[in-house]
Each structure stands twice: as C-alpha cells, then as structure tokens.
Structure 1
Amino acid sequence: MTGDRRAIACGLVAVGLWSTVATAFKLALETMRPVELIWLAVLVSWALIGGLVIAQGHAREALTHGWRTALWAGLMNPVAYYLVLFAAYDRLPGQEAMALNYTWALTMALLAVPLLKQRLTLMDIVAGLVAYAGVWTIATRGDVWQIAFADGLGVALALVSTLIWALYWLFNARDARAPLVAQWQNFSVGIPVLTAIVWFGPGFEWHGWLSLGAGIYVGLFEMGIAFVFWQLAVHQVSRTAKVANLIFLSPPISLFLLHWVVGEPILISTLVGLVLILAGLALQQFQKAPASVAEK
C-alpha cells in the first residue's frame, strides 16, 4: 500500500471506532455516573498509551520532560472536557449530544481570531451561521421559532464541551511533546484528580459487567486505539485534508448505531440539524483546500 492508502486505511479505522463511542457512552451511563465512567475509561487508556510509550522507547522522555505543560493540559483533557461531555450525554439523547459536539472545529476557528490573531473570513462567518443554525434546530427539536429547550442545561453542557476542546487544541498549538507522550502525561495528571472526585463524591460502586465492559471500551477505543490510528493517518498522509474529511463519515454512522443498539428514535430535527452542522464544517474545510494543495 502507498503511504496515502495506508493513511486513509488508518483514518477509516479511527473514524469507525469513534462512530461507536456515542453508543458506548449511552449504554454505560444507563447505570454509571459520568465521573465513574470517565475515571474507568481514563485509567484504561492511560495503561494502554503507557505501554505504547514504553514500546516506542519514549519512557525516559515521558517521565522527565513536559510536565509543566501536562499540569494544565491534563486538567483540560481529560478532566474538564470529559466531565462536561459525559454530563451532556447523561442529560441528552446520544444523537443530540453527538451532533452538538461536532461543532468544536467551528468553535476553534472562531476562538483563533482573538487568541491567535487570525482573520475571520467571509466563509468562516457563513460556515458558522449554517452550522449554528443546525445547533439551534437540534436544541429546539425543530421548533425553531420558540426559545424553549427540552433540556437547556444539557445543550449548554454539550456546547461548553466544544469550547473546552477547542481551547485545549489552541493552547497546545506549540506543544513540542510527542502525541503519545502528551496523552500519557495528561492522563497521568487527570487520574489522581478524577480519583479524588469519585472518592469524595459518589464513591466507587459495582454496576455490572456491561457497565465495566462499556467503560473499558471507551478507554480503549475513544481515548486510546482510535487516537493512535488517527495519529498514524495524519503523519503518513501527503495532504492532511485527505484524512481530515473522513471525519464527516462518523456522525451518520453514530446516529444509526444509536438507533439500532440503544433504541433511540431518530428525530427529524436531529437529521436536519446534523446536515446543517456538516454543511458548515464542509464549507470551512473547502476554503482551506487551495492552500493545502501546495503541501502536496
């Protein structure tokens, strides 16, 4: 296989795995509290990534360098981001939380204006208006002329998760750490914080094998293996846009898995809103295509 074909194959594996996690979230949250699920998933991912760091010979680097960055980065991801995201999934149907969470790329583009002094193009504005029209459609469940949300706090939490995720990546724009090392260090910071939150909060309880399996699955695939395959895809491809656009496959697959496995009825408002969000993301991607061609 050529480098690009390998990259696309790795990208498809990552997207395929990410498409299943919304279903895993909802199955686990039927019996587990959000903080319990996060603690278990982060612990599993920390062990997996740690093993990969050792296998690649980066153990000394991981133990001695980069901890000043990890101290604040770990509090943002996994602690703050997943606490807010899982709280949103706990309150909203999985299809709504998943669709709203996909606006993080647009949130990042908007935040890059004040934080990185980047210019906001006309296409950025159009893309934002289109995507956030989708957010409004989902939040109001199709009753777009009424300012009344089925779960306003759940919608707010989903949107705040996009803000945290976008800020995390913007603040890490100059992070010199290797991706796997950074992931392991951040989770090393997050685990004791999450342990304390569970210990002094709901406490550790046994919720059954299904919940345990769902938590392990989230740790292995949402936070672990999918991350590794995506990194392989990004580093092997000749032009980032070739794999970046694969992410558009994930929301429709997630939507149907939530319907088939969890039994959520697919709301027309979610479909319409998701189409608008993906259209906004596509507009944002297409405006960057000419600049990316030069990288080829």
Structure 2
Amino acid sequence: MKNDQRALLLGLFAVLLWSTAATAFKLALGELSVLQLLCVAIWVSAAALLGTLAWQGRLGLLWQELRSAPLGFLAMAALNPLLYYCVLLAAYDLLPAQQAQTINYTWAITLALLSIPVLGQRLGLRDWLAIGLGYFGVIIIATEGNPFSLTFTSGVGVLLALGSTVIWAVFWLLSARSKGDAAISLAAYFVCAAPVSLLLCMIWGGGLPPPGGALASAVYVGLFEMGFTWLLWSTALRLASNVSRVGNLIFLSPMLSLVFIALILGERIHPATLLGLALILPGIVLQQRSPKLEAP
C-alpha cells in the first residue's frame, strides 16, 4: 500500500476514534468521578504508550529524555494530560455532550488569540472574522439558540469547556517548540502524570473505581482518546505527501461525534448545536487559511 493510502486510512481511523470520545466521557462520568476517570484513563494511556515504545525498541530513549529534563516534563504533564483533561471532563460532567464537545472544538480559534501575546503575531481582518464566528457559535450552542438571553445550561460548564481550549492551546504552543520525538515526549508526559493522577484520585476522587461498564469506558478513553490515537494521527501526517489532505479529515470529527452522541447517549441534537457548529467550522477554516504576518 502506498504511503498516501496508508496515511489516509490511519487518519480516518484516528478521526473515527476521536469522534467516539465525547460519548465515552459521558458513559464513564455516569458512574465515575472526574478524578477517577482521569486516573484510569491516564494509567491506561501511559501503559499503551510504553508498550508501543517497547515494541519499537525505543524505551531507552524515553528514560534518556526524562533524565535530561525531568522538571520540564513534569510541568508539561501538569498542563496535559492532568489539567487539560481534568477541566475538560469537569465540563462534560456539567454539560450535555453535544455542547461540551462542540465548544471544545474552538481550541484552534483560541490558539489564534494566544498567538498575539505569546508569538507576537498580528491578526488580520480574516482572523478576527474567524474568531467572531467561532465564539458567536459558542454562544448559540451554550444558550440553545437564544444568544441574547445569555441563559446557559451551565455557566460553569461553558467556562470550563472554554478554559480547556486555553489550556490545550498553551500546551500546543509550548510543545511546538520542542525538538524531541513527539511519541517519546507524549509517553513522558503520561508517565509523569500517572502517579499524580493516582494521588489525586485517592485523596479527592473517591478512590479507585470498581469493575464495571463505567470502568470499561474509562479504559476506552485511555486507549482511544488520550495517547494511542495521537500516535496514529502523527503517523498519518508523517506518511502523507500532502499534509493538508489528511489534516482536513479532522473536520469530520464533530459531525461524527454528534451521530454517536445521538445514537448511543440518546441526546436529542438541538438545532442550535448544528447552527453553532455551522459557524465554528468556517471560523476554523478561515483562521487556518489566513496569512500569518511576521512578528513585529
């Protein structure tokens, strides 16, 4: 099979797995606390990533990386997966899945805003139009189609969902400067986060969860939302001769996710969610296609 065909298949598989994440989050949170889900998912993901590196014969490189900058990896692990997923899962705990997943999808627009103070970039008219479209879409979704009422299903949940986009964008900006191997760095973050997540779970999360369907959902999240799917995605991008062709597959994810939410969770997809998504997606496309100006 040619590299481009493999890249497309791996990219489609990664998008399909990510599309099930919102449903898995809600199924697990029906019985588990946020910290219980976080702990199980991080440990499972760390094990999967370590197993992958062991199979590739690269575990030694991981320990070299950890020894070279332990505090740096701890700091990055504190951002992601610990803080990012803690905030995101708390949002899912308070909001309907369709709202939380669609609002979280605005992280690319948040990234454009953060590029102003962090990278010193100037945003053009197209960027500001993208940002306006995206966040107006968020308001429509969060108010269920009554944007001028500012009455939310959960105001705290909306703030948490938006906060998760800020955390992810900061993490992305910091990790983009790294010169190391992406798979090894990702494994290092989860290895550093695992013992901390266990401590948080035992102290404030209610202890380790019992066996059952919710635990199985947490294991699924760890395998197919957090670490392993990122490896599939990064491999797809690496194999592709045209990165944008694979990268554009990610736009399938929110629509597929709504299908799973409706079929498995039984949520009625509100027309406002579709309208908001119809504003957010063009906003992301506009932002990605906007020419980037040099820092002043």
1:180-219 correspondence to structure 2 within 5 Å: 180-219=183-222
Counterpart of 2:125 (choices 108, 122, 127) is 122
Amino acid across the alignment from 1:102: Y
Query: 1:284 is paired with a residue of what secondary structure?
Result: helix
> Does residue 223 of structure 1 match 2:226?
yes
CA–CA separation in structure 1 for the residues paired with 2:291 and 2:193: 34
In structure 2, what is the equivalent of residue 43 of structure 1?
A: 43
Pairing 1:72–2:75 present: yes
> Given residue 40 of structure 1, which amino acid in structure 2 is its aligned partner?
V
Check conservation: 1:31, 1:207, Cα contact below 8 A. Answer: no
Please show how residues 270-281 of structure 1 align to structure 2 within 5 Å: 270-281=273-284
Shift of 1:3: 2.0
* Residue aligning to 1:58: 58
1:95 aligns with 2:98: yes
**Equivalent residue number for residue 160 of structure 1:** 163
Q: Percent identity?
A: 43
Deviation, 1:207, is 4.3
| Cα deviation, residue 116, structure 1 | 1.0
What CA deviation, in whole Å up to 9, does each residue of 1:92-136 have, x standing for no partner? 000000000000011111101210112212211111111111001
Amino acid at match of 2:28: A
1:23 partner letter: T
Matched ranges for 1:246-257 at <5 A: 246-257=249-260
Residue equivalent to 2:242: 239
Deviates more, 1:257-266 or 1:118-127: 118-127
CA deviation string 1:170-214 (max 9, x = no partner): 011211221111111111111121111111113324444201110
Q: CA RMSD in A?
A: 1.5
Q: Which residue of 1 aligns with 2:265?
A: 262
Q: CA deviation at 1:288?
A: 5.9
Q: Report the CA distance between 1:30 and its aligned residue.
A: 0.3
Aligned residue for 1:54, secondary structure, equals helix
TM-score using structure 2 length: 0.94
Alignment partner, residue 287 of structure 2: 284
The alpha-carbon deviation at position 285 of structure 1 amounts to: 2.8
SS across alignment from 1:172:
helix
* Cα distance between partner residues in 2 of 1:266 and 1:35: 28
Question: Which is worse superposed, 145-154 or 247-256?
Answer: 145-154
Unaligned runs of 5+ in 2: none
Distance 1:94 1:195 in 2: 26
Moved more, 143-152 or 78-87: 143-152
Q: Which amino acid letter does the alignment assign opposite residue 98 of structure 1?
A: Q
How many corresponding residue pairs?
289
Paired amino acid for 2:229: A
Query: TM-score, normalising length from structure 1?
Result: 0.94
Return the match for 1:150 from 148, 153, 160. Answer: 153
Alpha-carbon distance in 1 for matches of 2:266, 2:153: 19
Q: Partners in 2 of 1:212 and 1:147 — Cα distance?
A: 36
Residue 175 of structure 1: aligned partner: 178
Alpha carbons 1:16, 1:250 under 8 Å: kept: yes
In 2, Cα distance between the equivalents of 1:53 and 1:123? 42
Match of 2:32 in 1: 32
